[in-house]
Amino acid sequence: MKNKPLYIQLWEKYRNSILEGKYNYGELFPTERELEKVHSCDRKTIRKALNMLVDEQLLVRIVGKGTYVNKPDLRLQLESIQGFSGLLRQQGIEITNKVLFFQKVEAGYRVAKMLQIDKEDTVYKCIRLRYAKESPVAVETTYIRDIFPDLLKFDFNIYSLYEVMGSYGQFPEKVKEEITAVELPETEAQYLGKTPGDIAYLITDITRNKEGQIIEYNRSYTVSERFEMYADLI
């Protein structure tokens, strides 16, 4: 926490406060001047944090009146093992995919460490651009343990990865997930129609089967203004 820029710390603090209900929908939010005094920092830092909350649609500015607590347009509740598409379809939001890359590759050191395999082992690597309401919302890079024969025959523009895993008798049973705020790298920003350095969620998943074997390692850059996220994964 202490290594993060102050504006990120303030964004996280007030974001959590809003999502936890400490500020009510429609409530007038403290002014920049008030927050400047509370945190003993410059106005620019406060404004940068508030701009991020406005971008997420957690706050809304009304000219001549002030800044008010708002609600995000989508709620992504990560409470079951059904994948990104399943979670949003449950809310009536149709997800479409564009596969950017899908091949077998050598794991390499980092991926091998995550999947608990040798770095020379092969894995399936799949990069997908995910759309909700016809807008790009996430870029996912997924590494899959090479225990699924002929996985390359599946078109993941159409099929759900978790459903296909289940067809092999390897339905995901447990996920370890981390969600952090990061600045978008150049390539991911380009795919998402954003500017490099814009704030997004980096969602990292480690997925196991019922035997406890790690079968998937996933990294997803998700644009932060589209979702309110909760994590309660078994």
Residue 171 pLDDT grade (very low, low, confident, very high; cuts 50, 70, 90)? confident
6-69 is a CATH 2.60.320.10 domain: no
Render pLDDT for 176-214 as a digit per residue (tens, 0 to 9): 777 777 788 999 999 999 999 887 888 888 999 888 899
For residue 217, pLDDT over 70 is answered with yes
For residue 82, pLDDT over 60 is answered with no
CA pair distance 207, 115, nearest whole angstrom: 9
pLDDT at res. 225: 57
Identify whether the C-beta of residue 81 lies closer than 8 Å to the C-beta of residue 234: yes
Q: Do the domains 75-231 and 6-69 match in fold?
A: no
pLDDT at res. 18: 85
CA pair distance 90, 224, nearest whole angstrom: 20
- pTM comes to 0.64
Amino acid at 123: V
For residues 163-185, average pLDDT: 82
Render pLDDT for 4-27 as a digit per residue (tens, 0 to 9): 889 999 998 998 888 888 888 778
What burial letters (b/e) apply to 107-138, b meaning 16+ CB within 10 Å?
A: beeebbebbebeeeeebbbbbbbbebeeebbb
Q: Which carries the bigger pLDDT value, residue 12 or residue 232?
A: 12
Render pLDDT for 101-145 as a digit per residue (tens, 0 to 9): 999 999 999 999 999 999 999 999 999 999 987 889 899 999 999
Percent of the chain with pLDDT over 90: 45
Q: Which carries the bigger pLDDT value, residue 35 or residue 22?
A: 35
pLDDT at res. 89: 56
Q: What is the mean pLDDT of the chain?
A: 83
**Domain locations in the chain?**
6-69, 75-231
Most confident of 32-41, 71-80, 170-179, 197-206: 32-41
CATH number for the domain whose boundaries are 75-231: 3.40.1410.10
For residue 2, pLDDT over 60 is answered with no
pLDDT at res. 113: 94
